[in-house]
Structure 1
Amino acid sequence: MAKKSQKKIEKPLPKPEAEKIHPVKSSREGISSKTKLFNGVKKTRIRVIGIGGGAGNIVSEIASKIKKASFVVANTDIKALKTTSRKAIHFQFGQNLTHGLGTGMDPELGEMAAQDEKEKIKKILENQNLLILVACLGGGTASGATPIFAKISRKLGNLTLGIFTLPFKFEGEKKMGIALSALEKLRPRVNAFLVIPNERIFQIIDKKTPLKVALSAINKMLSESLEGLIEMIYTPGLINIDFADLKTILEGQGKLSYLNTVKVQKKEGAAQEAVEKVLNNPLYPYSIRGSKGILLNIAGERDLELSQVSQISKTISELANSEAKIIFGISQNKKYSDIIQTTLLATGCQIKILPKKLKKRNFKKAPLVEKKPKIVKKVKKSKKIKIEVPKEAKEDEVKPVAAETEKIRKNALQIRKETQAAEQELLEKEKIWETPAFLRKRLIKDQ
């Protein structure tokens, strides 16, 4: 009987333990719940992978600024890997095909190199909750290998976000074509993706700026946006946002997305400034209008005003689709001294997909062809204007023409008379030749 009673006492013990482990979203329930939440969310694994030379440079620069994520730089070019940050894991693939060199802007070779190393890629991507793929499309490695990385990640069940850049116009149509083709392959293989055309850099810097400095400006904005997103997931807040919320917004496939983090000084009109800046990132060729998912976090000091929070959140939610999922969070921390930080992730942006827009841009040559006939028409009109002369001049021009026609008519009458005379002459001669020879001699003498 004693044994049975011991069994009954042991059964209820696990219940309170399960309740203690359960994370609590709101920090209002006490300091202990905050600690448990932080410890629970900290287990979320985020990995940022840069594929190809350009993306390797981006990841190298942002790896030193973001602490709560792991970084990988993947490339076929061993020399390019050596120049990247030591804070990122270096992954060389495709050795049997490229022999440690790049792919020479050949996406097929890049794809084959990734296919050849599927098992190694799988090991790098597994056991991750959020995978962020960064690729500068247009090159052979990035354009060919990134779709393979994305496909493996999706099969592993990772939440996958893509950050893709498109080449400058001066890099040529062929490179742009490779980039757009890769983007079409990537869309169904990622949950969401951001698109940043390199050409948009001229919106924030002067055209005389050195190329390295210009590209670094893009990297800085990406770094700030990613840092804001990761902070949002990891750091507990007054109204908390965790990985489950991020998953709700990103779930699906091929969602065109918008990510931006801005900081503004706390002053009069700060809320309006924050709204304008977070909604108008010059690097994106599209907006959040009509988006179907919004993840918004506003961070500030403990004295963050409700009116400021209301103004920012209301303006952003009004731009989204009427049936959009909107998740809102507030973080308060001493590190946001005199600053309001706003992080916005919008998914399912309702805009014509970027490749179609870019294809239309290629047809800008058409208006130039159309202008040519217009110019010819104008020239013709100007000639007509020049031809127009006073009435006196016209009369002078008409008179010689009339005279010429009269001369032509007189000559025709004369020719007719001459032909008639010639015919008469021939008839007379024929009469002479018809007479006998002895009489003909007399007629000739008489004439």
Structure 2
Amino acid sequence: MNFDMPVNRSSIIKVLGIGGGGSNAVNHMFTKGIKNVDFVICNTDSQALTNSPVPVKIQLGASLTEGRGAGNKPAIGREAAIENIDDVIEVLSNNTKMVFITAGMGGGTGTGAAPVIAKAAQELGILTVAIVTIPFRNEGQRRINQAMEGIAEIEKYVDSLLVINNEKIREMYGDLRVSEAFSRADDVLAVAAKGIAEIITVHGYINVDFADVETVMNNSGVSIMGSATATGPDRAMEAVQEALNSPLLNDNNIEGARNLLINITSGSEEATMDEIGEITDFIQSCAGEDADMIWGNGVDENLGEALCVTVIATGFETNSIPELYVRKKQMDKIPLDKQFTPEEQSRAEEQTGFEVREKKTPKSAESNVISQRTIEFDLSDTTTPVKSNTDPMEQSMEVRRAADRVKNIKRNYEQMRELNMNHRERQSNIEDLENQPAYLRKNIQIDDSKPSEEKRVSKFSLSDDAEDGGVKLSDNNRYLHENVD
């Protein structure tokens, strides 16, 4: 049976850039290249759409803004997205299983339109991941406040939210030119989308597919991610440590994550089992033993001798980026023209009833004459018995515990003393062994005669008999006897 694979079919993964910041990031990803994903940009600025190399473009709010942008007003961006939401739904309905929504928060289009598009994707049953940025501090407090409100809004409609703080990029790379600073931010967004997408699209020996990613990221809330590449003999540990210090990990801490997704990619020098074990053990120790881990291994020849580690941590019990939450004032609105029923009126009167009390004024003093009197003190010693609050049984238990502690201390002291004595004896024995020859220790007597004075006659065949005046054959040589046996 033969199967025909579909050709030129739309990818199941789409990357949407919303607004100016999101579109710039998607343009950067499109130029850099991410395997087997479709790119789409959505913007109110017609000029930015014209200059983009991405083929699929959606203009938001053409009649509302007339192609001039949202003017840094999130409300305009939201209305523009609502105006053209059908165009977005048409693109997402074409074989889409997962969508990345990238946006720079703080402006008009990205802040206002991204939550609307995320809500539409969620209603289509698509796994929705938002990758958004917090503005640089020098962009102004107003943009930062708008960004916080936009992030709090988009979090309601996404399965997973990755937040990148641009200010942390500045802390890591120092004082950069404006174009370089925003290029670094685009790089980080591209690494985030590429790291997650290619876990699915690039096949490996131990493959991680869309179902694994969906298990980790579905309804996971705020997530943190890191990716890094390293070379050399310690490339495994260097890559995983650098990944956990990535700008994508806003607080550099994956402790408490319930789910971990790890992708290890190597080039011409394939990763070894020891390297993979070193990476997974290190991440597991950082996240905790209760975290469930899914890991995959693939090959990318473009890496050469380098090793790339991508870590995604999700399922935190508390928000991993606490500065995102904007505290809202709790207000109960009560309409002044509301008509109350007699029962509600009586209940309200009972709740708001009050009591009038007569104010009491102190009586004026009859006279202001100051009288003098003598105060006597009793100097006799009195002893007040003090009752002990301690139970006699508890006192006896304390005494026993103290006695046991003393015994333990003495026993430990004797053991240590014995060990020290044995150690000293061993030291002295070693010195004796080194200084005294073995034959003296074993009481073996050795003749001090010189070799020149020794007899040169064999004791088995010859005898040195002085009476005969010479050497003769020995009588006890059994080989010369008549009976040999």
Q: TM-score range by the shorter chain?
A: 0.5 to 0.7
Q: Contact 2:10 / 2:38 at 8 angstroms: preserved in 1?
A: no
3-state SS in 2 of match to 1:304? coil
Q: Which amino acid aligns with 1:274?
A: A
Distance 1:56 1:307, change over 3 A: same
Is 2:131 the counterpart of 1:166? no
Compared CA separation, residues 39 and 311, structure 1 to 2 (3 A)? farther
Partner residue, 1:54? 21
Determine if contact 1:44/1:243 at 8 Å carries over to the other structure: no
Residues 107-126 of structure 1: CA distance to partner in whole angstroms, max 9, x if unpaired?
A: 11111111122211211222
Q: Distance in 2 between matches of 1:291 and 1:176?
A: 27
Q: Are 1:314 and 2:289 an aligned pair?
A: no
- 1:86-125 paired onto structure 2 within 5 Å: 86-125=53-92
Equivalent residue in structure 1 for 2:197, among 227, 230, 233: 230
Query: Would the alpha carbon gap of residues 216 and 337 (structure 1) be closer, same or farther in structure 2, given more than 3 Å must change?
Result: same
Residue matched to 2:332: none
Aligned-partner SS, 2:206: coil
Corresponding residue for residue 293 of structure 2? 326
Alignment check: 8 A CA contact 1:288 1:350 kept: no
Code of the aligned partner of 1:277: E
Q: Within 5 Å, which residues of 2 pair with 1:12-411?
A: 45-65=12-32, 66-84=34-52, 86-126=53-93, 127-207=95-175, 209-253=176-220, 255-265=221-231, 267-286=232-251, 287-300=253-266, 301=268, 303-332=270-299, 334-349=301-316, 352-354=319-321, 356=323
Q: Given the two structures, how large is their TM-score scaled by the length of structure 2?
A: 0.62
Q: Count how many residue pairs are aligned between Structure 1 and Structure 2.
A: 322
**1:309-335 Cα distance to aligned partner (Å, 9 max, x none):** 101011112222543331111224544
Change (3 A) 1:303 1:281: closer
How many Å apart are 1:227 and its aligned residue? 2.4
Equivalent-residue separation in structure 2 for 1:67 and 1:270 (angstroms): 25
Q: 1:289 to 1:213 in 2, by over 3 A?
A: same
Provide the C-alpha distance between the structure 1 equivalents of 2:162 and 2:172, rounded to a whole number of angstroms.
18
Change (3 A) 1:279 1:349: farther
Q: CA deviation at 1:187?
A: 0.8
**Contact 2:164 2:247 survives alignment (8 Å):** no
Instruction: Please say if residues 162 and 193 of structure 1, whose CA atoms lie closer than 8 Å, have aligned partners that are also in contact.
Output: yes
Aligned AA (1:299): T
Task: Give the residue type in structure 1 aligned to 2:81.
Answer: A
Query: What letter is aligned with 1:189?
Result: Y
- Flag the 1:63–1:160 CA change in 2: closer, same or farther, 3 A: same
CA RMSD in angstroms comes to: 2.5
Matches of 1:43 and 1:93, distance apart in 2: 23
Q: 1:142/1:225 Cα in 2 relative to 1: closer, same or farther (>3 Å)? A: closer
SS at match of 1:147: helix
SS in 2 for 1:105: coil
- How many angstroms apart in 2 are the aligned matches of 1:100 and 1:46? 28
- Post-superposition CA distance 1:328-377 (Å, at most 9, x none): 112245444311111111112455453546769xxxxxxxxxxxxxxxxx
The 8 Å contact of residues 239 and 330 in structure 1, kept in 2 or not, is answered as yes
* 1:47–1:69 contact (8 Å) kept in structure 2: yes
Q: Is the CA contact 1:264–1:340 (under 8 Å) kept in the aligned structure 2?
A: yes
> Secondary structure in 1 aligned to 2:89?
helix
Counterpart amino acid of residue 72 in structure 1: V
Unaligned runs of 5+ in 2: 328-485
Distance 1:103 1:303 in 2: 49
One-letter identity of the residue aligned with 2:277: S
1:284 counterpart SS class: coil
Over residues 262-283 of structure 1, what are the superposed CA-to-partner deviations in whole Å (9 max), with x where a residue is unaligned? Answer: 2111x22222111211111035
**Is this contact kept in 2: 1:203–1:283, CA < 8 A?**
no
**CA deviation digits over 1:234-259, x for unaligned, max 9?**
22222111111111111115x11122
Give the TM-score taking structure 1 as reference length: 0.67
Cα displacement (A) at 1:156? 0.4
In the alignment, the residues of structure 2 paired with residue 123 and residue 80 of structure 1 have an alpha-carbon distance, to the nearest angstrom, of 22
Q: Percent identity, aligned pairs only?
A: 31
Q: Deviations over 1:113-170 (max 9, x none)?
A: 1112221121122231110000101111111111100000000011110001011222
